[in-house]
Structure 1
Amino acid sequence: MRNILLSFVLLFAAISSALAQKLTVESFKLASSDLTAQTQPRKDLNDRNCALIKVGIGLQGVQFEGSIMGNVENKTGEYWVYMPQGNRQLKVKHANYAPVMVTFADYGVEKLESNRTYELIVVTYPQYAITQNVTNQSLDSQQSTPQTHPTVSDNTISIPVKDGISIDMVRVEAGTFTMGATPEMKNPNDDEKPTHRVTLTNDYYMGKYEVTQALWKAVMGNNPSKFKGDNLPVENVSWYDCQEFISKLNRITGKTFRLPTEAEWEYAARGGNKSRGYQYSGSNNLSDVAWYKDNGGSKTHAVGTKQPNELGIYDMSGNVYEWCQDRYGAYSSSSQVNPIGANIEPSNRVIRGGSWDYYARICRSSDRGINVPDNRSRWADQGLRLVLSE
């Protein structure tokens, strides 16, 4: 009887969870510097240029209802919806989620204006439905079963390694973004130019935190860091050291971890398809999200002690620089799909994010660093963050 009751409870919870899935508006705003509505216009019935709403949602099969002119354009990572001026609402629908009616006035936009581009960010809640097979086990035996596989919660997974150490990862949905010195990036360097559109066609998981010394020790059996502490980011590691660490980690877990590409790193730092256009990763106020020169006290700090960015990822600005997989090279203005960096010699590698020892300008999400792959940095400011492909 107890087992039957447990089955009904779990089944009811699963049904409730499925019914709770819905679309939610994260933000709606005028994209004042985006001229797409003018450069790629669509006319309304009165021969006036429409307003353009760029809808970032990260789902396929999305439908829209309202006074829409022509077909909705499905771009990678976003939809383009053209509407005549004066409209005040747009309904967003998907077969697997409860729809949402977007009333523009709720977000400070009384009505749409001709020739203007707007940005609408819609997220799913819960973002990922988790199903569970209900077996004929007793409650006690279920609770005592050791966990040997990743646990999943919303858009995160936790992968056990050894000795009670796990790796928390955040899912980053595929999308398209402008990489480099976008307008919010103040005083950019020349190597951040020209800006260019980058499309990442596959979802991936990014480490929620920088790799800690506890994780490094569990895998490598040593701790090369200058500033010691289990929850501090590992530092004083070269690109080659990171590759050795990842190779051993993959043997332990049976997964395929790696360093992020530079494009994956910047896209995640900017908040992916939830980006709010901040200069730093998660805020325009660097002290909210980062340990850097002005507040770092000349040392690293425990990971995750500042605010996360839009995706729920911590310390992508400041604390320690993070190695990327890519060779360092100059940008091109051409659009790219899943770029993997330069194919040049010497094989200098990209580092990203700034550190506790650098001023605010270096902690911007578009700033680029460079180092030779065997350099461990005598300033104890280079670490890493992991990526896991789906």
Structure 2
Amino acid sequence: MLQAQEAAIAQLQARVNDLISAATAAPPLAGADNSDIVPVSAAAVSAAMPREPESFEVNRSELKPSELKPSELKPPASPAAPLNTASVLLSFRVVTVDRYGQPQSTVEKQAYGIQERINGAVLTLIQIPDGQFWMGSPATEAGRETHEDPRHLVTVPSFAISQGPITQAFWQAVAQLEPIERLLNPDPSQFKGADCPVERVSWLDAVEFCARLTRATNRIYRLPSEAEWEYAARGGTSTPFHFGDTLTAELANYDANDIYGEGPEGLYRQHTTPIGSFQVANAFGLYDIHGNVWEWCADPWHDDYDQAPSDGSIWTAENSDNRRVLRGGSWYCLPSLCRSAQRHWEQMDHSGSGISFRVVCTDVF
């Protein structure tokens, strides 16, 4: 059975590689008949975008965790306007809280993105600037686990990632496209709603989804690497959550019968919520990072970060018995399982009402 699974996975990967080669050779941003990008004048976008002088740079020579504190890493600057592509300017609200969960600051921000359309459904992606961050958790972080060690510095190239998990509406649109290696259930979710995250999808389903989206758009879509996911999730922060040192039920969907640190108890909703319904994002403009649904990553599972890549790439070395990484926590999780550094795994053919995914694209900006 395991050999058959491995053979099927190899065939699927070969097919995806063929699609990537075809997409790379195609003219940039040549939308397929059933997709388009919402255009905005580059000059208008550039004029509207606030500029920030800070850059996200550190001295990389012989760096060790003891030699550079997370507070010394400057947050990424607002990315420059994308070249040779239509774009949208997205506005969002960023909230931070103190250790008791009380609002500390609220900032209105903007970021560049694109909107992919398939059969009338919309996928919004955010541009994530390149930068560096400490991956993993410090020894003092409550709820941390040994598989979050060793904490290590990672350099991540720029990429685009979906603003939230894939919605049921966009999943259904892609599921209607011609199959590549496997059939997709167009309506797998336990909790229904066009704007709710699709769930009850396996890692294999998510890979098939990315392959179909790649073929339909002539742009390369895939699951994020584990490093890309955590870098995007943190949004320049080093705290347990991008909100700060704790989590509240007014900011995220999780089992708020339990508390994290000195934060408050709150409502346990016991189901998924529409993406972005809390109307708060991280500093990159991403919604629903903490809780709501676990999110598949491309990487095989490894028990810790020993010998993990430092360039943000997918850690392809097999060490997992067909296990794949999940991140972010879910609607049924305690808050400690929703931390930015928290890691989890499931078998690649597993699905559940708390499992979904985001997608990454590296050739749109």
| Superposition TM-score, scaled by structure 1 size | 0.63
1:185 positional shift: 3.0
| SS of aligned partner of 1:155 | strand
1:160 corresponding residue in structure 2: 116
1:263 matches 2:227: yes
Distance 2:242 2:131 in 1: 17
Change (3 A) 1:190 1:129: closer
1:277 positional shift: 2.2
2:276 corresponding residue in structure 1: 304
1:24 and 1:122 in contact (8 A); partners too = no
Aligned Cα root-mean-square deviation (Å): 3.2
2:223 and 2:360 in contact (8 A); partners too = yes
The code of the aligned residue for 1:303 comes to I
Distance 2:145 2:133 in 1: 19
1:245 matches 2:209: yes
Please identify the structure whose Cα radius of gyration is greater. 1
Distance 1:15 1:269 in 2: 29
Stretch of structure 1 that moved more, 205-214 or 177-186: 177-186
Please, which runs of 5 or more residues in structure 2 have no aligned partner? 1-39, 90-109, 177-185, 257-266
1:70 corresponding residue in structure 2: none
Q: Which has the higher strand share?
A: 1
1:218 corresponding residue in structure 2: 173
Identify which of structures 1 and 2 has the higher relative contact order when contacts are C-alpha pairs closer than 8 Å and 6+ apart. Answer: 2
| Superposition TM-score, scaled by structure 2 size | 0.67
Residue pairs, 1:347-386, within 5 angstroms: 347-377=322-352, 380-386=353-359
1:357 positional shift: 0.4
1:169 matches 2:125: yes
Show CA shifts across 1:6-38 (max 9, x none): xxxx99x9499569864346xxxxxxxxxxxxx
1:336 matches 2:295: no
1:259 and 1:387 in contact (8 A); partners too = yes
1:130 and 1:152 in contact (8 A); partners too = no
The code of the aligned residue for 1:301 comes to T
The code of the aligned residue for 1:192 comes to E
Distance 1:332 1:155 in 2: 31
1:128 matches 2:80: yes
Distance 1:117 1:286 in 2: 20
1:324 corresponding residue in structure 2: 297
1:192 positional shift: 1.0
Residue pairs, 1:85-96, within 5 angstroms: none
Percent identity of the aligned residues? 32
Distance 2:344 2:212 in 1: 27
Please, which runs of 5 or more residues in structure 1 have no aligned partner? 1-9, 26-56, 60-72, 79-114, 133-148
1:179 corresponding residue in structure 2: 135
1:346 positional shift: 0.9
1:282 positional shift: 3.4
Distance 2:46 2:355 in 1: 42
